[in-house]
Structure 1
């Protein structure tokens, strides 16, 4: 009986929402998180008072740390934590665009395994994060341990065999 009531409520909600605009339909059923999931043309970036600024910063910081890709959680999350307090509306929108990128693509573009598209390459937040990543790679990793530009950055267990390493690869 309870499941039948839920079906009728859902039907009523759908019929009621059919008269609304598509944007209000998405917001009414998905909630305010949908504003940050894609398409920033109508995003309300309200930095007018401290509480709204704090909430927006917390949402973006959470999104940057919880991507589900450990390397990006660390790299992007740390960068956002260090820089979000000083961002203006333009940079916050640029950060939202970076956070909307797919994880595998973003990782390849940040590490220069692949050339990013023009829209990503000209994004000021992406450029800043990429320069930090490349600076860290240059200071902590020998160039011979990296893949050539445009080549996948995947190494096997025995990738150092015959390179003055032990007889068993990376051990």
Structure 2
């Protein structure tokens, strides 16, 4: 957040003080904006475009910290906890292929990834070949088996909840709502 604040404070005065009437100055007005904000946004990097340098300790530390942050700060609480803990426990022992597999998993959409990990939906075939996905899915399945009775879970392939529009239509229940 402080990086965004710094970028705004350094960019806004340049925009306001610039001369917008000249066409020569047109590029210089937008160039500071792009240079200030481009580093704040992460792109969807594929495993092939990500430069993996495990040759020295500093680059390895930076890469591991970046991947650990991405796994713990996804914005989907269940995935933050499960994926973040798994990456924290296993990233030190990963080689370059393992890191590429992890990046592939981290690039997946949150709702889809959670449904695939929790067996609410069948994952694509290419994901079933990903060793990181299979290890995380095995951990989730093992935790479910250890901590939740099978009768309290949804049947495999079905979502756990129906959504916010589930109206109970039966005796002794409210007409609307899910109370």
TM-score with structure 2 setting the length: 0.72
| Larger Rg over CA atoms | 2
- 1:2-13 → structure 2 map (5 Å cutoff): 2-3=14-15, 5=18, 8-11=27-30
Match of 2:87 among 80, 88, 92: 80
Going from structure 1 to structure 2, the CA distance change for 1:77 and 1:91 (only over 3 Å counts) comes to same
Mapped to 1, the partners of 2:98 and 2:70 lie a distance apart of: 16
Going from structure 1 to structure 2, the CA distance change for 1:150 and 1:44 (only over 3 Å counts) comes to same
Deviation at residue 119 of structure 1 after TM alignment: 1.3
Q: Is residue 35 of structure 2 the alignment partner of residue 30 of structure 1?
A: no
Deviation at residue 121 of structure 1 after TM alignment: 1.2
Consecutive aligned runs of 4 or more in structure 1 exceeding 4 Å deviation: 10-14, 26-29
Match of 2:112 among 105, 109, 117: 105
Residue of structure 2 equivalent to 1:22: none
Residue of structure 2 equivalent to 1:43: 50
- 1:1-171 → structure 2 map (5 Å cutoff): 2-3=14-15, 5=18, 8-11=27-30, 30-31=38-39, 34=42, 37-154=44-161
Structure 2, unaligned runs of 5 or more: 1-12, 19-24, 164-172, 174-179
Deviation at residue 155 of structure 1 after TM alignment: 6.4
Mapped to 2, the partners of 1:138 and 1:33 lie a distance apart of: 39
Going from structure 1 to structure 2, the CA distance change for 1:30 and 1:135 (only over 3 Å counts) comes to same
Aligned length: 150
Structure 1, unaligned runs of 5 or more: 15-25, 157-166
Asked whether the 8 Å contact 2:15–2:29 carries over to 1, the reply is no
Going from structure 1 to structure 2, the CA distance change for 1:32 and 1:50 (only over 3 Å counts) comes to farther
RMSD of aligned Cα (Å): 3.3
Asked whether the 8 Å contact 2:118–2:140 carries over to 1, the reply is yes
**CA offsets per residue over residues 36-67 of structure 1, 9 Å max, x none?**
62322222100000000000000000000000
Mapped to 1, the partners of 2:74 and 2:31 lie a distance apart of: 35
